[in-house]
Structure 1
């Protein structure tokens, strides 16, 4: 237990290729924190990363698990992407109900930059990393609801670390 205090919940917001996992790994070492990354778990379970139903179920379990861990004083990083404002609000309010601090890190990368990163990643054919097409990233970018500056005021500042906007150099 963290002196009887709840842990901290950290939400990583951004599209595929923005650097969420890179940042999560760095933060997990710094804080320390538990990382919950759906892509890694789905891969280990042999499930296609593009299948929505298993991903939704796994993310639901991670939401419950993160609440339990935060309640016990553990800091947790969720790498879901949090594309919708409603998702970010829900997790912030759930963590606040536990008395926990909540951070939002938004990794803002323009579609062209995402595509360059994803194209390079696609060529590497790394096991457990989904191949993503330019068309997919463009469609997802249109569906993505990026946080607005006023939304950041609803979250806590990073604990002794750099700010939330675009905070991962890659």
Structure 2
């Protein structure tokens, strides 16, 4: 069995983070916790705007953070499919890592905007659980907040 690890992801919308998370959780025998699924099941129609997402995501993290710490402390690896797409969001992951005192891997899924938009078209048609219809304009708005991981943040990063 591999060492207890928190896996998490950085990449623009449509980059393939959730697909990678699912495969990694299965391959590692790790617990998968998906923000999109939890948000859809808990908040459903309350998610109308980007501001709604930000507010409800913060609320969800107050529940998921302690759960993840407990899972990690018990020796269970976790694949946390929550976006680590800017310094502020990655600070939350750092707090979880530090509290649980475990290994981590930040999977940086780097794709062109064109590749992301192509995947978003497919996802909009397929609508997997937790997904939301995303327009090119919404992709641009969300992407404007994106910050790739920096060495100074001191994460173990694996480019994908």
Which of 147, 154, 159 is the equivalent residue of 1:145? Answer: 147
Matched, 1:78 2:72: no
Counterpart of 1:161 in structure 2 is: none
Which of 99, 114, 137 is the equivalent residue of 1:112? Answer: 114
Alignment partners' CA distance in 2, 1:112 and 1:135: 13
How many residues are treated as equivalent by the alignment? 154
Alignment partners' CA distance in 2, 1:19 and 1:129: 13
State the Cα distance separating 1:155 from its structure 2 match: 3.0
Cα deviation digits, residues 56-114 of structure 1 (max 9, x gap): 21133111211111111111111111122233244235423432001100111121111
Instruction: Identify the structure with bigger relative contact order (alpha carbons < 8 Å, sequence gap 6+).
Output: 2
Counterpart of 1:165 in structure 2 is: 159
Counterpart of 2:67 in structure 1 is: 65
Structure number with the higher helix fraction is: 2
Alignment partners' CA distance in 1, 2:126 and 2:23: 22
Counterpart of 2:103 in structure 1 is: 101
Aligned alpha-carbon RMSD (Å): 2.4
Q: Gapped runs of 5+ residues in structure 1?
A: 158-163
Q: Gapped runs of 5+ residues in structure 2?
A: none
Contact 1:12 1:80 in 2 (8 A): yes
Counterpart of 2:132 in structure 1 is: 130
Normalising by structure 1, we get a TM-score of 0.78
Q: Residues 55 and 97 (structure 1 numbering): CA distance in 2 closer, same or farther, change over 3 Å?
A: closer
Alignment partners' CA distance in 2, 1:94 and 1:120: 33
